[in-house]
Structure 1
Amino acid sequence: MKFRAGDHEVSVTIDSWPALDRALRERFAAGEGFALATLNLDHLTKLREPGPFRAAYDAQDLVTADGNPIVWCSRLAGQPVDLLPGSDMILPICRIAAEMEVPLGLVGSTDDSLAGAAATLEELVPGLRVVSLIAPPMGFDPEGAAADEILKDLARAGVRLCFLALGAPKQEVLSARGRRIAPEIGFASIGAGLDFLSGQQTRAPEWVRRLALEWLWRLLGNPRRMAARYGAAFRDLPVHLWRSWRMR
């Protein structure tokens, strides 16, 4: 399923969990890395302008639908994809990693949040090995020398799968850089997923998510930060819906 972001085209390349499961197992078995992004309306808005974020998205190997509007557009276009948010994929991906003996690294958030998330993951997924925890400092530049050192540290620790919880666009930019510097590592950008696991943030209840109102939950929880983001995203939504309907 393809989307327009300004004069640029972005594709959801993974349409279901079985497709992602198969792709990840193939990569792990072959010793190949990857960059996994989860597309949402906020990303489409940011991708309207040329720059590092757009270049990073072009370098992603796997892209899933993160957000009901992306799923709605795909259905309108007659090219349906399943909803696969980063936070929901953490545990299933970890189960694959444990089964295939793939060491895990966590990058982002804070030291306390990473330690809490690692403990939770190892408790919920028997056999999972978390071998590296890195919380970059405030103002971290995903294109700078410090980013290269983080990627090299992950490789030296034997990491083969790394969850990036830095928020967009930093996590996608770092994962694209990782494809060059640590090509044996699979990078999955998951936003606030680790903070949810550690209890540093509270995710919307399941019934709220079923009603496609997680955006409202997050807006009410942090209106100052989220208002502008969601305002721009919902401004663009009718255009995406119209284009999807015309694709059908």
Structure 2
Amino acid sequence: MTAQPPPAPAGHVTVLGVPLDAITFDGLLAQIDAWIVADDGLHQVCTVSPEFVMIAQDDPAFMQVLREADLCVADGIGLLFAARYLGKPLPQRVTGSDGVPLIAERAAREGWSLYLLGAAPGVAERAAQILTERYPGLRIAGTYAGSPAPDEEADIVARVNASSADILLVAYGAPRQDVWIAHNRAHLETHVALGVGGTFDFIAGTVPRAPRWMQRLALEWLFRLIIQPWRWRRMLRLPRFVWGVLRHGEDAAK
């Protein structure tokens, strides 16, 4: 493992009470490296979307999780637009679905080990197989579907700790995955824990990701709605997000 100096503190913008760090994928990887080398406890990363922001408006416990996370990255083009509107542009959209393969690639080089937790039974295992084929030398410390149910917490924490994984990737969806990490933070022995939503499904191929041209045009949300029409109720949060940013712009920019 190559020790790197800790990266300079990232700037940030606050959008409707949620802090977002001005960081790139390279910065995220450098920060993960610094945390692993420091070996000073678990650090939580939240991949924040506009939907996260709106859930947090009605869920004080989730808002507290986001505010206390070590890093909140902008996983959503709407957040880049909001930050620009507030006069504090973010350098890059940092998504879990793009970030996990980059973390796996770096892990294969540095010797970090990953634990894949969540998604439907068998999905994490398939994602792990694909990642190890794609990045020779990658160490998968363990995989487990489980659930964020309170009565499973002790068993899951014991599984993760027994694996001696460096990085825990949790795919329970928001806000459950992030609340689960925060709730178990004091007992988990990994260096980094990151909520990754549907990333395992994308990697395993159980859910297709939007074509690159749709991603470039910020239409990934539309593709998800087409293939998963049940998400339409969740999409109603997006116009509320836009209205909230426009209405509370001055306060959000503080």
Partners of 2:44 and 2:192 within 8 A in 1: yes
Q: 1:15 to 1:244 in 2, by over 3 A?
A: farther
1:234 partnered with 2:239: yes
1:46 partnered with 2:55: yes
Matched letter for residue 60 of structure 1: A
Matched letter for residue 96 of structure 1: R
Query: Which residues of 2 match residues 63-74 of structure 1 at below 5 A?
Result: 63-74=72-83
Distance 2:20 2:171 in 1: 20
For normalisation by structure 1, the TM-score amounts to 0.90
Residue 60 of structure 1: which of 58, 62, 69 is its match?
Answer: 69
Please report how far the alpha carbon of residue 239 of structure 1 lies from its aligned counterpart in structure 2 after TM superposition.
Answer: 2.4
Residue 192 of structure 2: which of 186, 196, 201 is its match?
Answer: 186
Please report how far the alpha carbon of residue 183 of structure 1 lies from its aligned counterpart in structure 2 after TM superposition.
Answer: 4.3
Distance 1:136 1:79 in 2: 39
* Alignment-derived partner of residue 37 in structure 1: 46
Partners of 1:164 and 1:188 within 8 A in 2: yes
Matched letter for residue 37 of structure 1: C
Residue 123 of structure 2: which of 113, 123, 126 is its match?
Answer: 113
Please report how far the alpha carbon of residue 61 of structure 1 lies from its aligned counterpart in structure 2 after TM superposition.
Answer: 0.9
The C-alpha deviation readout for 1:7-36, integer Å capped at 9, x for no partner, is xx2101242223212211100111242111
Q: SS at the partner of 1:111?
A: coil
The C-alpha deviation readout for 1:70-107, integer Å capped at 9, x for no partner, is 00111122211110111010111112222221111001
Please report how far the alpha carbon of residue 159 of structure 1 lies from its aligned counterpart in structure 2 after TM superposition.
Answer: 1.1
Q: 1:210 to 1:241 in 2, by over 3 A?
A: farther
Number of positions where the alignment pairs a residue of Structure 1 with one of Structure 2: 239
Matched letter for residue 106 of structure 1: L
* Structure 2: segments with no counterpart, 5+ residues: 1-12
Partners of 1:178 and 1:187 within 8 A in 2: no
Partners of 1:31 and 1:184 within 8 A in 2: no
Root mean square deviation of aligned Cα: 1.8
Instruction: State the identity as a percent.
Output: 26
Distance 2:135 2:213 in 1: 25
* Structure 1: segments with no counterpart, 5+ residues: none
* Alignment-derived partner of residue 195 in structure 1: 201
* Alignment-derived partner of residue 98 in structure 1: 108
Distance 2:100 2:73 in 1: 13
Please report how far the alpha carbon of residue 210 of structure 1 lies from its aligned counterpart in structure 2 after TM superposition.
Answer: 0.6
For structure 1, which segment, 45-54 or 103-112, has the greater mean C-alpha deviation from structure 2 after superposition? 45-54
For structure 1, which segment, 96-105 or 85-94, has the greater mean C-alpha deviation from structure 2 after superposition? 96-105
Query: Which residues of 2 match residues 141-220 of structure 1 at below 5 A?
Result: 141=149, 144-220=150-226
* Alignment-derived partner of residue 138 in structure 2: 128
For normalisation by structure 2, the TM-score amounts to 0.88
Distance 2:248 2:194 in 1: 29
Please report how far the alpha carbon of residue 41 of structure 1 lies from its aligned counterpart in structure 2 after TM superposition.
Answer: 1.1
